[in-house]
Structure 1
Amino acid sequence: MSVDFEINNSVAILTLNNPKKLNALNTNFVEEIYDHLFDVEKKANVLVIFGTEKAFAAGVDINEIDSLTFEKALIKEFIDYKWERILNVKIPIISGVEKYALGGGFELALASDIIIANENAKFGFPEVNLGLMPGLGGTQLLTRIVGSKKASELIMSGDFIDAKEALQLNIVSKVLSSSADLKREALNLAKKIAEKSPTSLRLIKEAIQLSQNTGCLQGIKIERNLFRSLFSTSYKEKLTKKFLKK
């Protein structure tokens, strides 16, 4: 199992726990997340997502996408509707990010309502370095936070930003100096929010998302197919194999 899950006092805590692979996301990993979140709204008022001290999640597992083509990704429904379940969770989501939130890991954090980061956190979309692009919502979600110009710079360059810059860009709401402080802050905030009216929380989240996300889900679906189309390019094949030989 790569995911730990518990519920305490209406707060669901989902911990990505595959440190050997820096919580790199693959189909099985996403299925585990999906299984825990399938009916989470019936059990909790707030969801908190943590990684490990080594990484929140360092992107999609390159070993899995190395063999994928556009057609195979479509047939397999590679990280498809089960990822959309994460985007459609109706209760507030808080992500506590340490070290690397890259690629799909960054997209998972961006799918949250609130991100709290350790000062050692790094955020970025390195997909372009593999001849790919974000495919789990990154182009849509990041642009809605930082604007098209900054999103273009970050996604097209593949550069990482640290927690301080992420705070300046309004990607994260708070930066803490240690792992213990991060977890304490995230859980205290979750407990505070969980005490509020569940109906109010859901409607507040829906209203905020409506202001930001009109057309977003359709954009993500388009983005996903563009992402898959890159699986068949020579750039992707050459660069992923080069990466795996390191």
Structure 2
Amino acid sequence: MSGRLANKYALITAAGAGIGRATALAFAREGAKVLATDINAEALASLAAEHPAITTRSLDVTQAEQIQTLVNETGPFDVLFNCAGYVHAGTILDTDEASWRRSFAINVNSMFHLCKAVLPGMLERGRGSIINMSSVASSIKGVPNRFAYTATKAAVIGLTRSIAADYVARGVRCNAICPGTVKTPSLGDRVRALAGDEEANWRSFVQRQPMGRLGEPEEIAALALYLAADESAFTTGTVHVVDGGWSN
């Protein structure tokens, strides 16, 4: 199937690398016009060079005014993919107030402001798909040393289901994706920050996976593409786990 997102306009956050970048490219290849946002201007420039349907704009998702200005100037949108996220490591006793607030600012508050900004345009036209990035580390599965992260990603599921319930009869769908461990640049940064041998640290991540490998960004992008497309028109308020069987 080709042209699955023909005539659709999509806004993607954290599009400079990893899952966001893979999704921007997947959307563009399927006919969407894509506005890719990130705080990394260099990453955005290289992304825009890869496909003519992708335009870029710098965006700090923790700044509500920036979000509203961007949507006012570039919307309305048919698809919103909230991909920006932050992984704080530690138990509740390791989590200080600043880390707790940062986790919610990036992982939850940003989605609140982005959804609130794009919804009026979607409702006015009677159509839209919002896709929120949650995680298996949420209400799906407890993961050691991910206290703040898990709390925020559980909140994302509640946010998603509430929006879906409120607008199910008005043409706007809202769904969540819960990936497991995906081989992204941000995961690489976390692995390199761990004590000990880097290769051994990578092996420890792989060994806990039932499939014996990590997920690839393109595999998560494929699910986001499905949720953005009209073929998923009967799908809303759902939580899609894509984790290679880790949470089974």
Task: Give TM-score, length-normalised by structure 1.
Answer: 0.31
Task: Give TM-score, length-normalised by structure 2.
Answer: 0.31
Greater helix content: 1
